[in-house]
Structures are given as structure tokens and as C-alpha cells.
Structure 1
Amino acid sequence: MPDYKEMYLKLFRVSEKAINLLIDAQRECEEMYLNAPEPEIEVLFHKENDAEEK
């Protein structure tokens, strides 16, 4: 007969490792985002008169 308790515990331990791996990856990506330089923002103006004259 299969050892269901051991099967459950193995699945539980591996699931725990997978969840912790995802959490670590998320935290690392959040740190990368927070430490990234701010993008330069440039405002572009559209001249409607230039388009009508041409």
C-alpha cells in the first residue's frame, strides 16, 4: 500500500519550495524596479496651425 502520508509531505515540501522561489523572484524584480534610474520625460507639442497650412 502506498505511503500517503509521505506522498503528502513530499508534495507539501516541494510546493513550499516553489512558492518561496516565486516570492524570491518577485522581491528581486521589485528591487530591480525600485533601483532603476528614472526615465527622462520630454513633452512634445503638436502645432495644429502647421498641419492646416500645409
Structure 2
Amino acid sequence: MLVAAVTSSLKVAVTLSELRIRALDIARANLLGSNLFNIIILVAGLIFRPQRHSVIRLV
């Protein structure tokens, strides 16, 4: 969780500095690119995660 917060804060800082110098295209691309990459990683993690099999006990 700490790693996610640190990497996200860096992306926010870079985007804010780009907005400050009026580089709107770069700021937009930074936000869209990083979010798209994160979504792809999450979906890949859901697709390729190991399956847990539940065992039903009849007592």
C-alpha cells in the first residue's frame, strides 16, 4: 500500500508541474498512460492468478 501511495504521489507531482508550465497534452498523456497501464496490470493479475479450490466437508 505504501508503494502504491508513493508512486501515485510522484505521478501527481509530475502532472501538476506539467500543468503549471501549460503542457496540457503531456499532462493528459501522463494521466491516461499511467492509468491505462495500471488497469492492464490489474486485469492481467485477475486473469492469471492461481485458482483456489474449496473443499466441501460432509460431516
TM-score, L = length of structure 1: 0.54
Which residue of 2 is the match for residue 21 of structure 1? Answer: 34
Which residue of 1 is the match for residue 49 of structure 2? Answer: 36
Q: What is the DSSP-based 3-state SS (H/G/I as helix, E as strand, rest coil) of the residue aligned with 1:40?
A: coil
Unmatched segments (≥5 aa) in structure 1 = 1-5, 46-54
Higher relative contact order (CA 8 A, sep 6+): 2
Identity across matched positions, percent = 5
TM-score, L = length of structure 2: 0.51
1:19-52 CA deviation, whole Å, 9 max, x = no partner? 110000100111111110112123466xxxxxxx
Q: Tell me the matched-pair count.
A: 39
Unmatched segments (≥5 aa) in structure 2 = 1-20
- RMSD of aligned Cα (Å): 2.1
